[in-house]
Amino acid sequence: MNIIFDIECYSNYFMITFTNGDKTLIFEKHNDAVTTETLLNIYHQIEDHTLVSFNGWKYDMVMFSAALHGFANADLKLISDAIILKNQMPWEIERAFNFRIIDVDHIDIINLCPLYASLKLYGARIGAEKLWELPISPDKIILDTDIHNMREYCYNDCVVTRKLFDHLKPQLDLRRAMSDQYGIDLRSKSDAQIAEAVIKSEYKARTNATLYKLDVLPKHITYTAPDWVKFETPELQSLVFGIENTRFDINPKNGQPVVPEWMKKHKLNINGKTYKIGLGGLHSVDKPGSYYSGALSILDVDVASYYPAIILNNGYAPGQMGQVFLDIYGDIVTKRLNAKKAGDKVTADALKITINGTFGKLGSKYSVLYSPQLMIQVTLTGQLALLMLIEKFAEHAIEVISANTDGITVRTNQPVDEIVSHWERDTDFDMEFTPYDSIHYRDVNNYIAITEQLHVKTKGAYKLSDLTKNPVSDICNESVINYIKDGKQVHETIYQCRDIRKFLTLRTVKGGAHKDGEHVGKAIRWYYSTDTDTAIHYESNNNKVADSQNGIPLMNLSKDLPSDLDYDYYIKKANNMLEQLKVFL
């Protein structure tokens, strides 16, 4: 059984809520008096189950253990402050306060979530019913009259954690499968952490040696292009020369290579299209516009498994691992391809986590896989290889609409198979082709693409909200997509929608916000209303929260649409989006 738990801690008050959805147990210590059953009794009821938390590895499990140890309220607050304010790690807390963290089955879901955000923000992104800010500042004293609110607040955090836990079920299922396969508990790890754990385990099994992170960071690194990187034009030949003769300094604070000034400013012009390079991925400089197939075909050409292919094809490995890394990584890639061919989706998806997560650790100075040299060999080689193909397209007067990291989108009336095949032979990469019916750009990182099979691909501002992206009037994006794909009028999509979540905008406001003097919170969501002409404001300086004019906060969701919903606002915004994309209206 999975039991969600959450903790609140003040100088005179401490509570833990445990719930499985059907039954809830609460431990409270107020002014050093336990007002519920003892925590030890509760512990015996839950110790054989799986505890689930958000950021529990660093905070909740530590505080739970400290409370079991019997610390007084004031001492528990000292421990809490050491974690939150001083960023002390669990092992540092154990040493400083002389207690041991208990060993129970525990899943911490924070690392399964993309990027970094608060529990409330993640909850709001997936439609949590209630956004409830901490009702009392952490530096205050809790009175008897406050306890009911504290219990309600803590329970709501458990509800949001449960909703997020359920939302992450596919990721958790993959991690359980990988845990069984490798004999390591990977349930609470991010993709990059999984990659590191798996490769460390495989390295130990193959060498009988332990892999450690580097003690001394390099001060600078250089790049060497593979022999197959060749260009015809002097401008691109000069680019390779310039990159190979650049010393990339390493930032001692974060271990990352520093982008040189010349590279920040450098732009390439190929067949009338401008491109920018860097230490990440290549990207074109795209203007707003819409492109439709017809007399000309639109084709997206992507490199299959680009970064893994660069690593294995060129024999790139972290210096501390050498050939062993290539053996391990190559075996994982081969196993994934075999699983994919056999229709074993679980294994294929699990191994993909390790393959892609490995690259994420190359730039972390805290990782045993840290290798800034390997990182720039991969990213710069990837950019140069794409530029080779772009140069070939230019020779044949094939128009490049856009290019970004691992792919190129072209518009042409010529077959490109022979050109691409020649490039594949030179580079040893494999290309995947996707014909588009149309593609609509705001810029290279914000677009809507419709495939010939009428599948929709969106990026950036046009992507519907998910765990990685705050909702910003999703109904407008949806109506724009419906118009482009099916010709459905914008106002039809908007008027027919009965889901209030699609009309909401979500934003984090540092220090909190107020609407007409009434406190709202830090993670706020609102809809646009016909009944107000004021904005939402920062409490710290009273500045207006961006795009909040005529917004009404909706911290608690309702099933019915508000009667004051400003349909005209959403229709106008969607039409403006279509005009910005230069869609045929």
User: Is 332:351 a contact under the CB 8 Å cutoff?
Assistant: yes
Over residues 452-503, the pLDDT tens digits come to: 999 999 999 999 999 999 999 999 999 999 999 999 999 999 999 999 999 9
Cα(571)–Cα(485) distance, rounded to whole angstroms? 17
Q: State both tokens at 256.
A: 């990352």
Q: What is the chain's percent helix, strand, coil content, to nearest 5? A: 40, 20, 35
Looking at the structure of the chain, the number of domains it has is: 3
For 489-543, write each residue's pLDDT tens digit: 999 999 999 999 999 999 999 989 999 999 998 999 999 999 999 999 999 999 9
- The upper half-sphere exposure of residue 384, i.e. CA atoms within 13 Å in the direction of its Cβ, equals 30
Pair (403, 499) in one structural domain: no
- Examine residue 207 and state whether it is found in any structural domain, yes or no: no
Question: Do both 414 and 479 map to the same domain?
Answer: no
From residue 569, alpha-carbon distances to 211, 306, 503 in Å are 58, 43, 10
SS (H, E, C) 536-562: EEECCCCCECCCCCCEEECCECCCCCC
Q: Is the residue at 488 inside a domain?
A: yes
- Give yes or no: residues 300 and 387 share one domain: yes
The two tokens of residue 474 are 């999703």
In a domain, 46, yes or no: yes
Residues 122 and 154 in one domain: yes
Using CA atoms, how far apart are residues 101 and 122, in angstroms rounded to an integer? 27
Tell me if 500 sits within 8 A of 554, measured CB to CB.
yes
| 442 and 509 within one domain | no
CA distance 375 to 363: 7
Average pLDDT across the chain, whole number: 94
Whether residue 197 lies inside any domain: the answer is: no
Residues 481 and 418 in one domain: no
SS3 237: helix
Q: Do residues 438 and 518 both lie within one domain?
A: no
369 and 307 share one domain? yes
What single-letter amino acid sits at 149? N
Q: Are 30 and 142 in contact (CB under 8 A)?
A: yes
Domain that includes residue 523, residue range? 464-580
CA dist., res. 540 & res. 526, Å (int): 20
Provide the pLDDT for residue 585: 63
The answer on 297 and 375 residing in a single domain is yes
CATH number of the domain encompassing residue 19: 3.30.420
pLDDT tens string 264-282: 999 999 999 999 999 988 9
Does residue 419 form part of some domain? yes
Given 417, 444, 461, which residue is the final one in a domain? 461
In a domain, 198, yes or no: no
Give Cα 216 to chain centroid, integer Å.
30
Average pLDDT on 308-317 reads 95
- Rounded distance between C-alpha atoms, residue 332 and residue 178, angstroms: 12
Of the residues 427, 461, 495, the one at which a domain ends: 461
Q: Do 36 and 118 fall within a single domain?
A: yes
Residues 266 and 402 in one domain: yes
Residues 136 and 33 in one domain: yes
